[in-house]
Amino acid sequence: MYSKPLFHLFGKDIVTLYGICIAVGVLCCVLVLFKFAKGRISDKFIDFLFYNGIVAIALGFFAATLFQSFYNYLDNPEAGFQLSGMTFIGGLIGGVVSFLAGYFVFRPVLDGRLVDIISLLPCCIVIAHAFGRVGCFFAGCCYGKPTDSFLGVRFPFLTHKVHPTQLYEAAFLFALFAVMLILYLKKGFKHNLSLYLLAYGIFRFLIEFVRGDERGSFIPGISPSQFWSILMVVASVGVYFLLEIGYKLRAKELADAGSEKAVSKAEGE
């Protein structure tokens, strides 16, 4: 781990390995979108997803800070509400809500529909998240509980070895990315979103048992992330059936559009 800045400019720290990992994650997210969406949806729709995604990422970072600050306030109200720290699930919620809001606002003028590409989007999220967790390792945040295991890592600010939960999660996310991308490209799998919610929800719930950093709480007995993980697992079932309905409506929409074109062509002849 290396949390010190790599470069300085005008006496200020400007580049860290954490920041580099975040940048690489966002870049990979964009590359996956442009690489594997090409030919499946129009270039115009890809451009919309890109710009809408950039806005969603920015608002997601803000939501990540807002959620963590709220947990901190509940844990210590005397300190007052202060913006500090980040939590991924809070950022995910904020980013998704923002992305969907942008989509539905511009939906009437778009030449594509979200269901056309919905199974690829979780791949974009997961690859960015995986590099982000590597960044967390370098930053020394999100670490685990003390351990004597050979896997244990001693961070400079700790006197004992801890589970490198950042790397555990990064390894899981890289593997999940590979599985989802293969399913999408080779099998035409349409339910990567449900798979992501289910798989990550279960993993995150379990890894919380070896997380050692203090992040506040608002439900006795479980961490904030475990609470949201349970909701993710439940949501995975609802999203599956919701998408099934969406795919059927989209198929009907395309069939109707095809019929209209055929009629127009016949009338033109």
pLDDT of residue 67: 87
What value does the mean pLDDT of the chain take? 88
| pLDDT for the residue 263 | 46
| φ/ψ (deg, to 5) at 211 | -75, 140
Entry pTM: 0.87
CA proximity to 116, closest of 46, 179, 64, 58: 46
Residue 87's pLDDT band, with cuts at 50, 70 and 90, is confident
Rounded CA separation 217/47 (Å): 39
Distance CA 164, CA 145 (A): 9
176-234 tens-digit pLDDT = 999 999 999 999 999 999 999 999 999 999 999 999 887 767 778 888 899 999 999 99
Q: Is 21 exposed, middle or buried (0-12, 13-18, 19+ CB in 10 A)?
A: buried
Amino acid identity at 8: H
Start-to-end CA distance of the chain, whole Å, equals: 70
Question: Over the stretch 102-133, which tens digit does the pLDDT of each residue have?
Answer: 999 999 999 889 999 999 999 999 999 999 99
Angle at 36 between CA 34 and CA 42, to 5 degrees: 65
Is residue 6 pLDDT above 80, yes or no?
no
Residue 220: how many CB atoms within 10 A of its CB?
5
The contacts found for 78-84 with CB under 8 angstroms, 24 or more apart, are: none
